[in-house]
Amino acid sequence: MRLALELILPILLIVCALAVTFSKRLLVAVVIFTSFSLIMSVIWVLLESPDLAITEAAVGAGVSGLLLIYTLKKIHALKGTSDE
Amino acid sequence: MAKIKKEKKTLWQRFTAWVNGDAAEQPLLPAEPPKPKKNKGAKGKKQKAQPTRKEWMGLSRFEHFYRVCAVVIGVAIVSVLMVTVLQLPLFGSPDNPAVNEVVERYVEKGLEETGAVNMVAGMILDYRAFDTFGESSVLFLAVTCVTMLLMRDRNNTTKEEDLLTAREHVIEGHEEDIILTKIARLVIPCALVYGIYVVLNGHLSPGGGFSGGTIMGSALILFAVSFGMIRISRFFTYATFRKVTSCALMVYAASKAYSFFTGANHLESHIPLGTPGAILSSGLILVLDICVGIVVACTMYGFYALFTKGEL
Amino acid sequence: MEHLLINHYETAAVILFGIGFLNLLLQNNLVKKVIGVGIMDSSVYLFLASQGYIEGRLAPILVGEVANAADYINPIPAGLVLTGIVVSVSVTAFSLALIQRLYQKYKTVNFDEIVQLARQKGDE
């Protein structure tokens, strides 16, 4: 069971990375990058490092995703927020 | 100077001008910046004068070459690294050469020398405290650089930008969203207390300064999002941010950074190590954890405030 | 080949590094380049921390009274990666601030257009 999880999660990571590369909309790319961080957090638990798991969950999915979305707002790449 | 150079423009001069990024002799694009869809059309219009046309065709040939080269180099790097992975020791084997006498010392003597039950926290805040100091400085430096880039004051805003931000303030409105405020009143105290718990228990259980600091920073960000910047600037202003972050970093530097000059002769801190398992134990680790947590929390909030409003 | 499957974390880390690197070089949009750098960072941390795992041992939190080095995984790579994660978010934040300033000046985040506009305006 654990071996199955250890084989599937890295494949999911690679799928997420490819989805970020080939997505056309920026908001989709940011959301998939946040889920990439979430999968990394689970992998840290499987590697027996709980410190890294808490930090990656707080930082990757929390602050990094938040900053990316605020940047998207400032460059007017979110639909429905352009002033014109 | 451009007129004299126009007459004799050898291949070498054109190449150096292109490398230096000098403006071409004739305007290449129409006066207003082009919209993204018209990009190829704008390039097609530029076949009027002979030197500019050759220059642009050289550029697109370079781009093609650049893309092919990038893919080749990427594939080469990945294959070299794969060959390296084939030479690595097996995953999870106990006779990994990374497990040496340093690990034995840290694990076995860690409790009696640092007093920390969490070995990773004991390692990064006692044995290798200088690395953590460098990393807190990197956070402080990052927020300083973002302040330099994004902070708005009277000198670097034009009148149009002022009008635009005033209009955005009016658009965002100041009726507070009732769902957000009610839920935030419940969540923010819990998140703050949880963040403080993770920081204080850094040496006893997983967690530590960084994760606890990020959780506290997220609670502050939630406060700013739901209640507005005016209410949070009642207790968290730019002056507060400066004083708190600088004091925390200086406390850290005073306790651990002098060993940069004195080498291995460090002063014994007179804080007793205490019983392992209690919160008030492990000497300086608790103090340093609190400092790191404060720096990280203020940094995360600072990033948010500078990104949205341009003021801290 | 079995070696690559046994070291599956390192293999995945190397492939992710390649994907992130190609993103950084070949994407036109600046925000996607920053995301590519983030993917590269995460792959390096995965590679480094998987050097510290030892089969059948526990996380490095002391259980009981006496610590035996044969009961716990290697805590050193975890400590190094902890620093790295925080530096990665600092670099991301700084790059995003630069992207905001570039957008304020050139009104686009497409890399080719910014280079063209910069060359036209004559300043870099």
pLDDT at residue B158 in the model: 73
Integer CA distances (angstroms), C51 to A68, B90, C75, C121, in order: 31, 9, 10, 50
Give tens-digit pLDDT for C59-89. 888 887 777 778 888 899 999 999 999 999 9
Amino acid sitting at position B118 = N
pLDDT at residue B21 in the model: 67
pTM over 0.90: no
Beta bridge partner(s), residue B92: C54
pLDDT at residue B29 in the model: 41
Residue C75 CB partners (closer than 8 Å, separation 6+): B103, B106, B107, B119, B120, B123, C52, C60
CA-CA-CA-CA dihedral for B200, B202, B203, B204, to nearest 10: 90
Say how many C-beta atoms besides its own lie within 10 A of residue B89's C-beta: 12
Cross-chain residue pair A55–B300, CB shorter than 8 Å: no
Residue B5 CB partners (closer than 8 Å, separation 6+): B13
Would you call C52 helix, strand, or coil by DSSP?
A: coil
- Alpha-carbon distance of A47 to C52, in angstroms, equals 8
Q: Which residue has the tokens 């694009």?
A: B29
- Alpha-carbon distance of C95 to C30, in angstroms, equals 9
Confidence of residue C9 (pLDDT cuts 50, 70, 90): very high
Give tens-digit pLDDT for B104-124. 888 888 888 888 888 898 889
Cross-chain residue pair A74–C103, CB shorter than 8 Å: yes
Give tens-digit pLDDT for B145-166. 999 988 887 676 677 777 777 7
pLDDT at residue B58 in the model: 60
- In B40-176, beta strands by DSSP E: none
Q: Which residue has the tokens 């998140």?
A: B191
Query: Can you give the pLDDT of all 312 residues of chain B as single tens digits?
Result: 444 445 457 887 777 777 676 655 544 444 454 444 544 444 444 444 455 555 555 667 888 899 999 999 999 999 999 999 999 888 888 888 888 888 888 888 888 888 888 889 888 988 888 889 999 999 999 999 999 988 887 676 677 777 777 776 666 666 678 899 999 999 999 999 999 999 999 888 898 889 999 999 999 999 998 888 888 888 888 899 999 999 999 999 988 877 778 777 666 667 777 777 777 877 788 999 999 999 999 999 999 999 988 777
pLDDT at residue B57 in the model: 58
Candidates B153, B152, A33; CA nearest to C97 is B152
Asked if B211 and C85 count as a contact pair (C-beta separation under 8 A), the reply is no
- Alpha-carbon distance of B106 to B125, in angstroms, equals 12
Let me know if C78 is exposed, middle or buried by CB neighbors in 10 A (0-12, 13-18, 19+). buried
Residue ranges per structural domain of chain A: 2-74
Which contacts of A35-38 are long-range, i.e. CB under 8 A and separated by 24 or more positions?
A36/A60, A36/C39, A36/C42, A37/A61, A37/A64, A37/A65, A37/C42
Helix axes C30-49, A26-46, angle to 10 degrees: 10
- Tell me, what's the ipTM? 0.90
User: Both tokens of residue C12?
Assistant: 């995945």
Residue of B nearest to A83 (CA): B168
Segment A63-74 shows an average pLDDT of 92
Cross-chain residue pair A70–B304, CB shorter than 8 Å: yes
Task: Determine the longest span between alpha carbons in chain C, in angstroms.
Answer: 71
pLDDT at residue B174 in the model: 61
Q: How many domains does chain C have?
A: 1
- In chain A, beta strands by DSSP E: none
Higher pLDDT among residues B114 and A8, named by residue = A8
**Chain B partners (3+ C-beta pairs within 8 A):** A, C
Q: What is the DSSP letter of B34?
A: P
Candidates C82, C99, C119, C78; CA nearest to C35 is C99
> CATH number for the domain including C95?
1.10.287.3510
Looking at the partner chain, which of B210, B221, B304 has a beta carbon nearest the beta carbon of A55? B210
- Alpha-carbon distance of C28 to C36, in angstroms, equals 12
Counting residues of chain C whose pLDDT is more than 70, the rounded percentage is 98
Beta bridge partner(s), residue B118: C61
pLDDT at residue B55 in the model: 57
Which chain B residues are Cβ-neighbours of C14 within 8 angstroms? 78, 81-82, 85
pLDDT at residue B10 in the model: 80
Residue range of the domain that includes C80: 2-60+67-120
Cross-chain residue pair A75–C109, CB shorter than 8 Å: yes
pLDDT at residue B173 in the model: 60
Residue of B nearest to C119 (CA): B23
- Alpha-carbon distance of A76 to C108, in angstroms, equals 10
- Alpha-carbon distance of B22 to B270, in angstroms, equals 64
Segment C23-36 shows an average pLDDT of 94
Residue ranges per structural domain of chain B: 10-30+52-84, 115-264+272-308
User: Both tokens of residue B217?
Assistant: 């920073």
Residue C116 CB partners (closer than 8 Å, separation 6+): B28, B29
Higher pLDDT among residues A80 and A65, named by residue = A65
Which chain B residues are Cβ-neighbours of C90 within 8 angstroms? 138-139, 141-142, 299
